[in-house]
Structure 1
Amino acid sequence: MNQIWMQPEGAWGARSPRTLSFSARGGACAFFEVEAGDRLRIVDPEGRQPARLYAGPGAFGEATPGAPPLLDTLRTRGDGAGGRSVEAALAARGVAPSDLEAHALFHAESPPGSSFHATAAASSVCVLVIPGGPMAPDAQDPPTDLRVEIEPATSLEGRAPPPLAPPLLDLRVKAATAEAFSVKAGQYIQIIDVDGRQCADFLAFDAVALQAGDEYGLDATTTHTLMGSTAPKPGLLSKYFDARMVPLVEIVQDTVGRHDTFMLACSAKYYEDMGYPGHSNCTDNFNAVLSPHGVLPKKGWPAINFFYNTVAGPDDRITMDEPWSRPGDYVLLRALTDLVCATSSCADDIDPANGWCPTDIHVRVYDSQSAFSKGMSHRMTPDAEPRLTRESGFHPRTAALTRKMEDYRGFWVPTCFNAAGPLEEYWACRERATIMDLSVLRKFEVIGPDAEDLMQLAVTRNVRKLAVNQIVYTAMCNPHGGMIDDGTLFRLGQNNFRWICGDEYSGIWLRKLAEDHKLKVWVKSSTDQLHNVSVQGPRSRAILSGLVVSPPQEPTIDELKWFRFTVGRIDGVPVLVSRTGYTGELGYEVWCHPSQATAIWDSIMTAGEPHGLTPMGLAALDMLRIEAGLVFAGYDFCDQTDPFEAGIGFTVPKDKPDASIGSEAVARRRDNPHKRMVGLDVTGNEPVGHGDPVYDGRTQVGIVTSATKSPILGKTIALARLDVSAAAIGGSVEIGKLDGHQKRLPATIVAFPHFDPKKTRVRAESPTRGDQGQASPAKPSPENVATAGIPA
C-alpha cells in the first residue's frame, strides 16, 4: 500500500485541508486506521470489484452477515498480497482478527465509480480485502484497485506520513531552519516534504575526511561532468560525487521527479538584492549547523535542491515556479560512505519557490539492511497516486543477464544485455530470433454489452469488422484529431475486447467516453495481470511451434495468421500467443500471468537455444522499429499529431459507418494536410536525433522524429515530419546541427519504411518444406492486409 497525503486544489498559494488517500491493490488487502469522526470514502473506479471492509464493532454501522473470517482471508494470502503484513499490524496494536466485523462493498456488476461513504462512529483499525486471483491470459476478470480517501476529523497539517521501515533517526526540520546529522555507509536517508510545495536543500560531506580536517562535499562540476548532465536539471542524477570523484550518495526513490541540482541554496545576498536585508536564509542556516562539524562557512552553498522547481527556458534563462511536490512526497537516498549531512527547510517566502509559505521538512534514516526497490514515481494523471517503477514478472531473468536497465514508462526494462550488446541483438533479430520483455505495455479489458460500441467510438478503425481471435492496429484520437495513443485491439468475444497500448491514460479516456455516452461497459486495468515477451525473428515460428500446445479448436503456431492470436499452454502454463510485434520481422508475443513469467522465459530460452535465440533490449528494438517505419509515441506523434501526420493514415478508413471521436477533425486534416511523414536518407555518418530541424535552404520545413544508423542498410536513416510543400519523394533537404545553420547534413527524401517496404517478412506464411526456422516471404491475403492496416 502506497499512502500519499492528498491536498485538494485551493486558492493560489493557499494550503487547503488534506485528505489521506491511497490505492488498495486488487487481489490484496490493506491496513489503515480511522479516528472517531473521520469521513471514509472507498471508490471502485473501474467497477465490478467486490470488497470487504473489516472494522471494529459499530465503527461503520451494522455488519454484513455471513462474511468469511478475516483470519482465514489473511492466512490464504502471501505477503505480496499484504496478508502477513496486515496480520502483523493487527498484532502490534493488540487487535485480533476476530475482533473486527465485515461490511460487504460493491458486487460483480457494480458500475464504474461506485463508492462507499461513512463517518467513523468510533476509532478503529480497518482492513480492506479486495478478492481476486490470478487472471488467465484469455480471461478478462482482473482484480482491480480501489481508492481509499480519509478526511480526518482533526487536521493533518504538519503530520509526516508513516515511515518506510523502522527509522534509526526521526528528525523534524522546522520551517526556515536547517539540521545536521550523521549517517553510516549503506544507510538510507529519506527527505520528506511534509505539507507539500516546500524546498529542502541538501548537503553531504565525507565524515572520515572531515575528522582529518579535510572538507570533501558534494561537488557540482564533478557530478555534472561524470554524469554527463547539464545544469540545472529538472530532476535528479543517479549519483553525486565530491571533487575527488568519490561517490557520496545515490538516489534510490523519488516520488516527485522534478528538482534542481546544484544551483545555490538561498543566501543573504539574494534577499538583500530583493529588498529584504536580514531575511533568514538556507546558507546562513547551513553555516550554523555545520560549524560544529568543522565545515567552513560559505556565502552561498551549492546544494541538491530537492523539490525546487527550476525551469530552464529556451532563452537560456533560469526561472522557477511552485514545487510539484505534494504532502508526503519524498526522496530516498543511500549513503555510499560515512557522511555528515545537512538538510534545510527553505526560508524563501517572497516568491513561488515554497508556495509562498515555508513549512516543515522531515528526515528519516533507515538501517542499511532495509530492503527498498529503486525507482521513480509515475502518475497516470496529475491527481493520481504516484507509483514507483515496477519490475515485470520476467525481471528476475533479465536482471540476471544485465545491469543496464532503464525506467521506461514506469517499468524497469533492459537497454541491452551483457553477453551481446545492441548491435549483436539487432542482427540476432534480423537473422535468427530474439526474446524481449515488453510487459510495460498497458492492457485494458473492455467488456459488457456495449463494448463494441465503445471501441467503435474510441478508435479510428471499423471495429465491427473485427472477428473473434483477430487483432487490429489502430489509433485513438481526441476530439481535435490529435492522437491520444496507438495500439492493438484484440477481440476475445462478441462483447469482449482487449486494448493494448503505451499510455495508461487510455483507460481513463475509455471510461470517460463510456460515461459520457451512457454505455454499459467496463474498462478493467489488467497490466499487472498480463505480462508478455516478444519473440521475433525469422526463426521465431520454429521456436514456438514445437513449444505451444493449442486446444483442437484453436490454430497452432504454424497455422496462426498475421494479426491473429491463439491460446494454449507452454509446459503446462496457460498462455495467449499473438502474431504481432514491433520489429518488422516475423514474430510473436507470448502473454502470461506475471507469477508464471519466469517459467515461460525458461521454456522459450531452452527451446530457442538451438536456433540462436538471444535476449534483446530497447536499444536494438529502436533500430529495428525505425528501419521498419513503426512509429513511437512522444517521438513520431503526440496529441497534436493526427494519424496522417504520424504516417499511419492507413488506420483511418474512409468508409467507416460510425463516427469515432475526432473523425471529423481527422477528415478535415486529411483533406487539407499541412505536414507529412517521410523517410530521410542522410549523407555521411554524423549522428542525427529526434527534434533535429530539417531545412530547405534557409527555411525550416520540419523536424526529425526518429533516426538511427541502420546496420542492414549501412547508412543513417530517419523519419521526419515535413511541410507538404517540401515533402516530395526524391527531394533534397538538410538537417541542421549546432544552431541549425552553421552545420548542415544533406539528406534525400524517400518513402518509408526504409527496410522491407512490402512487409514480406512479417507476413511470411508457414513454409511447407525446407528449413522450418526460416521466414519464407509470401504474398499476403487481402484479409491479412486489412487486418494489419498496411496499405495493399
Structure 2
Amino acid sequence: MQDLLPLRSFSNIGHMAHGRYFAGFPQRTTVSHRIDPRGSLLVKAVKGDLIRISLEGPGAEIAILAFDPSGARREADLGISPPKALSAGDFAAAPLTGWLGAHGVTGELSLEASAVSYQADGVVLRVPSALTLWIVNPAAPVDLVNGTGRGVARVEHTKQAGQLDLPEPLGDVRDEFTVARGTAQAYQLQRGEVLQIIDVEGQQCSDFQAFGLAALDRAQERMIDGTATRSMVRRSFPGPGLFDKFFDAEMTPMLRVLRDTCGRHDTFGLACTARGYEERGFPGHVNCSDNISRAVAPFGVAPRTAWPAINFFWNTWIDAHHHLQTEESYSRPGDYVAMEALDDLTCVSTACPDDIDPINGWNPTDVHVRIYRPETRITRSVAYRSKEDAPMQISQESAFHERLAPLTDHFAPARDLWLPVSFPSHGTLGEYWACREAATLQDMSGLRKYDVMGPDAERLLQRALTRDIARLAVWRGSYAVMCDDTGQVIDDGTLFRLAPHLFRWCCGSEESGRALTALAEREGLQVRIHDLGGALPNLALQGPKSREILRKLVFTQPHVPNLDQLNWFGATVARVAHREGAPFFLTRSGYTGELGYELFCSKEDAVELWDSVMEAGAEFGLKPMGSAALNIIRIEAGLAAAGAEFTAGVDAFEAGLGFAVNLKKSDFVGKPALERNATAQRHQLKGLLFDCTDVPPHGAPVFCTERQIGTVTSATHSPMLERSIAMARLNIEHAGNGTAVQVGQMDGRMKRLSATVTDIPFVDPKRERARA
C-alpha cells in the first residue's frame, strides 16, 4: 500500500498530502457550499483556484463582487459579464456590509456587481490572482413568499494542490501551532479561553487529555475522567459524538464543548499504546500514549503505559451485539472541535500515528491547534449534513431567535437550526394546555421547503406522491407521502398549489428534493425544483383561538382567499396588518390536530411577524411552545414522525399512513409494492392505552404472553387522558381493539407494562377540532 509511514519514528518527516479518495467523501481539495435565496458567501481564493457555480434552472442569476488584497474591484479579471445594480433589498446584506465597513467602505449599500447566469453544466471560473469573492444569491422577500423566486445556489471551491484547508479563525487567536503526525504537544489554557482542534486533511484522529492546573501545582493529577463524565451527562460508552461537558474525578467541570463539525468521536477509550502495536506484530511502533507521557512530563505529570483520552475524530460505535466496532474516520479536511476551558488547564493533543488499520485512512496526517482569548464569543453549534457527502452546515440560530432567546435557554438542534424544547415560564405542561385551550406559537423553521414549477410540475408530483395531485385546486393543500419502489416511506409533508404550474412542498427531509430531482431527470420532465433552504422560516400558530388572533393582523388582496375562506389545508398570501406590511405565506395546517395555521416569511421579516402575532394573541392567552409539548400533542393526535412511525423497512401502510395512499391513481412510485402489501399486510400501527403512568421508550417490545408481537414507535404520558399512551406497530393478528398486551422493559422480560390495543388518534378521532 502506498504512502504508509515508517513504523519506528516520525521525526523529520515532511508533510505528505495523500489526496486519496474514499467512497462517500468529497475530494480533499474541493470545498462545497450552498447559498440560500437572499444569502451570500465569502470565498478567499488564490491564483489557480477554481470556482464552480451551479444554479437551479434557466433564468437564475447570481451576483459576484471580487476584491484584490488592496480592496480594488476585480470582477473583470474573472471574465464575467458587465456589472448590474445590486442593492441591500436584494439580499440579507448585513454580512457583506459588515465586511465592507471593516475594509473602509461605509454608507448605504448600492453596488455594481457582475452577474453569472444559469448554465446546464454550471459555470466554472478560474481565479487569476489572490481575490476575496462575495457571491450573492439575490431574491425579493415577496418572491420567496409567493413562489416566484429562485432556489439554493451551490458553489464548489477547488483549491490549488498543497493548500491546507484550515477553517477561518473563530475570533482573536492567542496562539496556534501544528501537531505533526505521530507526535504530541502539551500546552496551557486559561479559564474562558477557547481551544480549537482541527483535522487538517481529514480522517485523522487526535487524542486529548487535560489536567487541572491548580491541582498540578499541588502535585495532584486531576484529569478528565471518563466514568465521572459519563455519569454526569448520563450517557453510555461509547457513542458517536461528544458530551456537552467533560469532568474530572471530583465531578468538577473542566471543558464545555461549543462546536463539533464532525459529529463522530470516541469518548472515552485509550490512546494507542506500545502494547497494542506489539500484539499486532509491530514492536517499537510510535504510539500516542508514550507521546503524551513525554509531552506532559515537563508539567510534573507521571508517565503512563496507557492514557485514557477523548479520541477526537475516531469513528467507533457499539453494534447490535454490544461489540465495539471501528472504521475510517468521518472527519473531512478542516473539521474541528471547539471547547471552552472552565478552569486553568494543562492540555495535551496528539496526531495519531496509527498506519496499520483504517482509523486514520491508512495515512496519518497533522493536527492543528488554535487557542482563542477569553473575550472571543463563539456560538454553540454542531455540524449538519443532509447526507454524508453533502456540504456541511453549522447549526444556526433561527430567524426568530432574537425573540426566543430571552424566553428560554433550552434549545436542541433540529437539522441545521437551534429550536426551543420548552419555555420555563410555563413549562411543557403549561404549553400543552395552552395549545388545547387557547393558542401557541412555535418556531418550525426546520421544515424543508421546495417550490416545484413548470409545465410538467403536476406530472412530476403525481408520479412522486401517493395522493391524487390532479385534484388539488389552486390555493389548496394536501398531506401526502413520498415512497420508494418498495413502498417504504422516503418523506411526508404538505403540498400546496399556488398556481396551475406552481407547487410548494413542505416536508421533513432533503431526501425529498433529491428524489424529486432524480425522478424528473429520469423521466425527462420540464420542471424546476427550487430548494428554498433556510430562506423561508415559519411559525406554527395552533389552538382553538388561532383564527381569532389572525383576524387582528391578516391583510389579503381580493385575488387570493381571505382568512375566513381558508378551509382545512387552504393557503393564501397575506401581509401583516395592511397592504404595505411584511408578506407571508399563510396555510391552515399544522402538526397538532388542533385548529391551526402556519406562517412562512423571509428572514428579514421574521421578528416583525413574531411580534405581530404575539401582540395580537396577548388577550387570548397565546404562549410560545417548544418541541417537548408538541411531541405529546402529536402522539395524542396519532400523527406519524420520521424515525419513529416510518423508518427503514416500513412501508406506508405499516407506518399508519394508508389514509394518504390513493391506489386508484393510474401510477406513482411504489404503487405496485403497496398494492401487493395492501392485500398481505403483516403489521398495523395501533394505539396502546396503559394502566399506569410509566412511559416506555421507543423500540420497546410488545408481548402477548411470551411472544413478541410488536414494537413501540412513540410513547408519552397524556395529560388529557391522565395515563400513558403509545403508538405501536403490531402483528395484524394481535391488532384488534381491546386486545390485552404487555410492553417489556428491563430487557423486555423483568418488567412488563399492561396495555390495551385501541385505535388512533387517541384524541378527537374525526379531526373535528382541526376542521372547526
Equivalent-residue separation in structure 2 for 1:226 and 1:548 (angstroms): 49
**Residue equivalent to 2:661:** 652
1:19 to 24, 30, 50: 30
2:586 to 577, 584, 602: 577
1:496 to 491, 502, 508: 502
Equivalent-residue separation in structure 2 for 1:218 and 1:122 (angstroms): 47
Q: CA separation of 1:489/1:7 partners in 2, compared to 1, >3 Å: closer, same or farther?
A: farther
Which AA in structure 2 matches 1:518?
Answer: G
Which AA in structure 2 matches 1:762?
Answer: A
Which AA in structure 2 matches 1:373?
Answer: T
**CA-CA distance at 1:89 after TM superposition:** 6.7
The yes-or-no answer on 1:30 pairing with 2:41 is yes
SS at match of 2:584: strand
**Residue equivalent to 1:643:** 652
Is the Cα contact below 8 Å between 1:63 and 1:102 reproduced in 2? no
Is the Cα contact below 8 Å between 2:141 and 2:601 reproduced in 1? no
Equivalent-residue separation in structure 1 for 2:192 and 2:617 (angstroms): 41
Stretch moving more, 26-35 or 308-317: 26-35
The yes-or-no answer on 1:512 pairing with 2:515 is no
**CA-CA distance at 1:573 after TM superposition:** 2.4
**CA-CA distance at 1:218 after TM superposition:** 0.9
**Residue equivalent to 1:331:** 337
**Residue equivalent to 1:731:** 739
Q: How does 1:39-438 map to 2 (within 5 A)?
A: 39-44=50-55, 48-54=59-65, 63-64=79-80, 66-68=82-84, 80-85=94-99, 88=102, 104-107=115-118, 114-120=121-127, 124-136=131-143, 138-156=145-163, 160-438=166-444
Equivalent-residue separation in structure 1 for 2:197 and 2:263 (angstroms): 14
Equivalent-residue separation in structure 1 for 2:622 and 2:157 (angstroms): 52
SS at match of 1:263: strand
Equivalent-residue separation in structure 1 for 2:458 and 2:210 (angstroms): 58
SS at match of 1:291: helix
Q: CA separation of 1:40/1:412 partners in 2, compared to 1, >3 Å: closer, same or farther?
A: closer
**Residue equivalent to 1:594:** 603
**Residue equivalent to 1:475:** 481
**Residue equivalent to 2:13:** none
Stretch moving more, 280-289 or 562-571: 562-571
Is the Cα contact below 8 Å between 2:189 and 2:346 reproduced in 1? yes
**Residue equivalent to 2:6:** none
Equivalent-residue separation in structure 2 for 1:62 and 1:587 (angstroms): 51
The yes-or-no answer on 1:667 pairing with 2:678 is no
Alpha-carbon deviations, 1:722-751, whole Å to 9, x = none? 121222222222211112222222221111
Equivalent-residue separation in structure 2 for 1:283 and 1:89 (angstroms): 47
Equivalent-residue separation in structure 1 for 2:468 and 2:39 (angstroms): 38
**CA-CA distance at 1:13 after TM superposition:** 13
Which AA in structure 1 matches 2:702?
Answer: V
Is the Cα contact below 8 Å between 2:36 and 2:533 reproduced in 1? no
Which AA in structure 1 matches 2:98?
Answer: R
**CA-CA distance at 1:147 after TM superposition:** 2.8
Stretch moving more, 498-507 or 82-91: 82-91
Which AA in structure 1 matches 2:674?
Answer: V
Q: Which runs of 5+ in 2 are unaligned?
A: 1-16
Equivalent-residue separation in structure 2 for 1:653 and 1:390 (angstroms): 38
Which AA in structure 2 matches 1:670?
Answer: A
Is the Cα contact below 8 Å between 2:78 and 2:126 reproduced in 1? no
**CA-CA distance at 1:441 after TM superposition:** 0.8
Which AA in structure 1 matches 2:338?
Answer: L
Equivalent-residue separation in structure 2 for 1:557 and 1:59 (angstroms): 48
**CA-CA distance at 1:440 after TM superposition:** 1.1
**CA-CA distance at 1:181 after TM superposition:** 1.1
Is the Cα contact below 8 Å between 1:133 and 1:143 reproduced in 2? no
Which AA in structure 2 matches 1:494?
Answer: P
Equivalent-residue separation in structure 1 for 2:557 and 2:142 (angstroms): 19
Q: CA separation of 1:14/1:661 partners in 2, compared to 1, >3 Å: closer, same or farther?
A: closer
Alpha-carbon deviations, 1:771-790, whole Å to 9, x = none? xxxxxxxxxxxxxxxxxxxx
TM-score (norm 1): 0.89
**CA-CA distance at 1:81 after TM superposition:** 4.1
Q: CA separation of 1:738/1:458 partners in 2, compared to 1, >3 Å: closer, same or farther?
A: same
SS at match of 1:226: helix
SS at match of 2:187: strand
SS at match of 2:558: coil
Which AA in structure 1 matches 2:161?
Answer: T
Stretch moving more, 211-220 or 29-38: 29-38
Equivalent-residue separation in structure 1 for 2:423 and 2:175 (angstroms): 39
Is the Cα contact below 8 Å between 2:147 and 2:498 reproduced in 1? no
**CA-CA distance at 1:247 after TM superposition:** 1.2
**CA-CA distance at 1:143 after TM superposition:** 4.8
**CA-CA distance at 1:252 after TM superposition:** 0.8
Q: CA separation of 1:25/1:80 partners in 2, compared to 1, >3 Å: closer, same or farther?
A: farther
Which AA in structure 2 matches 1:351?
Answer: D
Which AA in structure 1 matches 2:602?
Answer: H
**CA-CA distance at 1:569 after TM superposition:** 2.2
Q: CA separation of 1:426/1:65 partners in 2, compared to 1, >3 Å: closer, same or farther?
A: closer
Q: CA separation of 1:236/1:46 partners in 2, compared to 1, >3 Å: closer, same or farther?
A: farther
SS at match of 1:225: helix
TM-score (norm 2): 0.91
**Residue equivalent to 1:789:** none
Stretch moving more, 163-172 or 503-512: 163-172
**Residue equivalent to 2:3:** none
Equivalent-residue separation in structure 1 for 2:112 and 2:597 (angstroms): 49
Equivalent-residue separation in structure 2 for 1:180 and 1:457 (angstroms): 60
Q: What percent identity do the matched residue pairs reach?
A: 40
The yes-or-no answer on 1:751 pairing with 2:744 is no
Equivalent-residue separation in structure 1 for 2:144 and 2:43 (angstroms): 33
Q: Which runs of 5+ in 1 are unaligned?
A: 1-5, 92-96, 765-792
Equivalent-residue separation in structure 1 for 2:617 and 2:35 (angstroms): 40
**Residue equivalent to 2:8:** none
Is the Cα contact below 8 Å between 2:65 and 2:75 reproduced in 1? no
Is the Cα contact below 8 Å between 1:469 and 1:564 reproduced in 2? yes
Which AA in structure 1 matches 2:398?
Answer: S
Q: CA separation of 1:463/1:253 partners in 2, compared to 1, >3 Å: closer, same or farther?
A: same
**Residue equivalent to 2:613:** 604
Stretch moving more, 416-425 or 677-686: 677-686
SS at match of 2:462: helix
**Residue equivalent to 1:788:** none
Alpha-carbon deviations, 1:159-196, whole Å to 9, x = none? 53433334221210011111111122211111111111
Query: CA RMSD for the aligned pairs?
Result: 2.8
Equivalent-residue separation in structure 2 for 1:14 and 1:440 (angstroms): 25
2:566 to 540, 560, 568: 560
SS at match of 2:412: strand
**Residue equivalent to 2:694:** 686
Is the Cα contact below 8 Å between 2:145 and 2:600 reproduced in 1? no
**CA-CA distance at 1:325 after TM superposition:** 0.5
Alpha-carbon deviations, 1:616-663, whole Å to 9, x = none? 111111111111100111111024222111111011113213x11111
Equivalent-residue separation in structure 2 for 1:591 and 1:62 (angstroms): 37
SS at match of 1:364: strand
**CA-CA distance at 1:251 after TM superposition:** 0.8
SS at match of 1:762: helix
Stretch moving more, 638-647 or 622-631: 638-647
Alpha-carbon deviations, 1:413-462, whole Å to 9, x = none? 11110111111111111112111111111111111121111111111101
**CA-CA distance at 1:687 after TM superposition:** 2.2
Alpha-carbon deviations, 1:571-596, whole Å to 9, x = none? 32222221111111111112222222
Which AA in structure 2 matches 1:599?
Answer: E
**Residue equivalent to 1:767:** none
Is the Cα contact below 8 Å between 1:54 and 1:102 reproduced in 2? yes
